[in-house]
Amino acid sequence: MFSVLSYGRLVARAVLGGLSQTDPRAGGGGGGGGDYGLVTAGCGFGKDFRKGLLKKGACYGDDACFVARHRSADVLGVADGVGGWRDYGVDPSQFSGTLMRTCERLVKEGRFVPSNPIGILTTSYCELLQNKVPLLGSSTACIVVLDRTSHRLHTANLGDSGFLVVRGGEVVHRSDEQQHYFNTPFQLSIAPPEAEGVVLSDSPDAADSTSFDVQLGDIILTATDGLFDNMPDYMILQELKKLKNSNYESIQQTARSIAEQAHELAYDPNYMSPFAQFACDNGLNVRGGKPDDITVLLSIVAEYTD
């Protein structure tokens, strides 16, 4: 079964899709003079949901996510725990969940710089390494920060989770996927001492970092690979066209629709998914969707009110 999250207290005066503005302070090109914020709703599926294995908190299977608010910025993130750890008796969701909860706490405490999302990942990862409670596992991670005053979106993406920025029905900015080789994304890891140097582990500094000027009404979709492996851009954009206004209910409904469609396609054996196409490009004879945990955070850039 799916789960829905909603976040934010904003007055959203932007008409979606970048088609028009009703903000009296907005100038040409969709900019405004006030502070910006994000109206965000989340939805997801754990791939084992049919077995009733739902996890508490903002976790869908081995995925995890957070949305945090600070006076200087809105920050959100997603992480995908590496399932292979289950073969060694380790719950993959513990690493991704702890990483996201640590990021969330740092933001709420103000221990971050909006223009440096890699710093959020680095500090969180270091805290995990120093954790007195033993923690093992690996995870991808994507952090998205909207600086309220500068109206700039700062991002850090490590691995194959990611984000899209949509304006006027088109993707105007996006993350780059990071893979060592097929189906082996960059990832943060903590391994037992005897496995150090053997388990794949990347530095937070290896994350791809970008900055981008956003406008009122821009749509930001942040998700784990369970979405992108099953839905190409054109399908996602078709679903986003159904988003007619920026109230919570509309955003939640659209996030749920996207997650549900990705989940259905993941179990279609005859569907040529983006993952299957990528596999074929790498010499593998694969067809069908990719059953996986799916996490979707859907955000609208809106005028911020305290």
pLDDT at 115: 98
Supply 204's token pair. 């937070």
Residue recorded with tokens 């937070």: 204
What are φ and ψ of residue 7, in 5° steps? -140, 150
Residue type, position 97, single letter: G
Structural element, H or E, at residue 120? helix 117-129
Residue recorded with tokens 């979606």: 16
Going 282 to 287 to 293 to 295, the CA torsion angle's sign is: positive
CB-based contacts of 244, cutoff 8 Å, min separation 6: 16, 250
pLDDT at 47: 85
CB 156 within 8 Å of CB 208: yes
Query: How far is the C-alpha of 23 from the C-alpha of 17, rounded, in Å?
Result: 15
- Radius of gyration in angstroms for the set of CA atoms belonging to the chain, rounded to a whole number: 19
Q: What is the mean pLDDT of each run of 10 residues along the chain (306 residues)?
A: 46 35 32 85 82 55 96 98 93 96 98 98 96 89 98 98 98 97 96 84 97 98 98 98 89 96 96 96 95 97 88
Supply 121's token pair. 């990942």
The architecture in CATH of the region 36-46+54-224+242-256+293-303 reads 4-Layer Sandwich (3.60)
What are φ and ψ of residue 209, in 5° steps? -115, 135
Residue recorded with tokens 């369970």: 226
pLDDT at 4: 47
DSSP string, 240-252: HTT--S-SHHHHH
Give me the torsion for CA of 148, 16, 226, 284, rounded to 10°.
-120
pLDDT at 49: 57
Residue 105: name the closest of 128, 130, 82 by CA: 128
pLDDT at 244: 80
CB-based contacts of 146, cutoff 8 Å, min separation 6: 36, 37, 38, 73, 74, 75, 114, 152, 153, 154, 214, 301
pLDDT at 29: 38
pLDDT at 197: 77
DSSP string, 49-85: GGGT-PPSSSEETTEEEEEEEETTEEEEEEEEE-GGG
Q: Where are the domains of the chain?
A: 36-46+54-224+242-256+293-303
Strand partners, 213: 152
